[in-house]
Amino acid sequence: MNPEKISAVILAGGRGRRMGGTDKGLALLNGRPLIAWVLERIAPQVDELFVSANRNLDQYRLFGHPVLPDASPDFQGPLAGLLRAMTEAAHPLILSVPCDTPFLPDDLVGRLTDAIEESGADLAVPVCGGQVHRAVCLCRRSLLPGLADFLVQGGRRVGEWQSMLRRVEVPFDDERSFLNLNTAEELAAGGELLESR
């Protein structure tokens, strides 16, 4: 494990359109909010943790970590949440993960950190089953000015921003680790997967 300290942000600031407008981080998976599952996975792996949220701020504060609304109120997407976390982070590396990925690997941060340090890349992303999981990203806080410019110029897409940077892809084996539970049906399937583990 690399000794570099890590800040992390769990991105829960979206509109939840694919879940009928439900605040996805608070949607229940086997009786617990989705974000609680993600916190359980990520908190032991990092030194500082934020929650990016734009609704139900008081409910998110109950999980015991600072809650950061986007600087702009118009739901600019996950990159706006990452930008806000970069402005608050105490450490030079920042992990961002979505609130709807409850099965993230226990060694996620260690492997991404090793890869970014060994390669000298700007950011590290996991690859599994031939798919790049761009929403899960470890990046350098020094990218803040460029990300701010990207958003000011109207950029919103995570892949577009990442394509402009030096990226290292880190292979993982278990495709279930990066499942996104975006809909009520996927949430139900995630509950069945939990029970089978």
Res 169: pLDDT = 97
The phi and psi torsions of 77 (rounded to 5 degrees) equal 100, -175
Give CB contacts under 8 A, 24+ apart, made by 69-78.
69/13, 70/13, 75/13, 75/14, 75/15, 76/151, 76/156, 77/14, 77/156, 77/157, 77/158, 78/11, 78/13, 78/14, 78/52, 78/135, 78/158
| pLDDT tens figures, 151-171 | 999 888 999 999 999 999 999
Does residue 21 surpass a pLDDT of 70?
A: no
Res 188: pLDDT = 78
CATH topology (fold) of 6-196: Spore Coat Polysaccharide Biosynthesis Protein SpsA; Chain A (3.90.550)
Length, in residues, of the chain: 197
Q: pLDDT tier at 74 (50, 70, 90 boundaries)?
A: low
Q: CB-side exposure of 149: number of CA atoms within 13 Å?
A: 5
Sign of the torsion formed by the C-alpha atoms of 61, 67, 70 and 75: negative
Q: pLDDT tier at 4 (50, 70, 90 boundaries)?
A: confident
Domains in the chain: boundaries: 6-196
Q: CB-side exposure of 188: number of CA atoms within 13 Å?
A: 4
The answer to whether the CB of 80 falls within 8 A of the CB of 118 is no
Is the whole-model pTM more than 0.85? yes
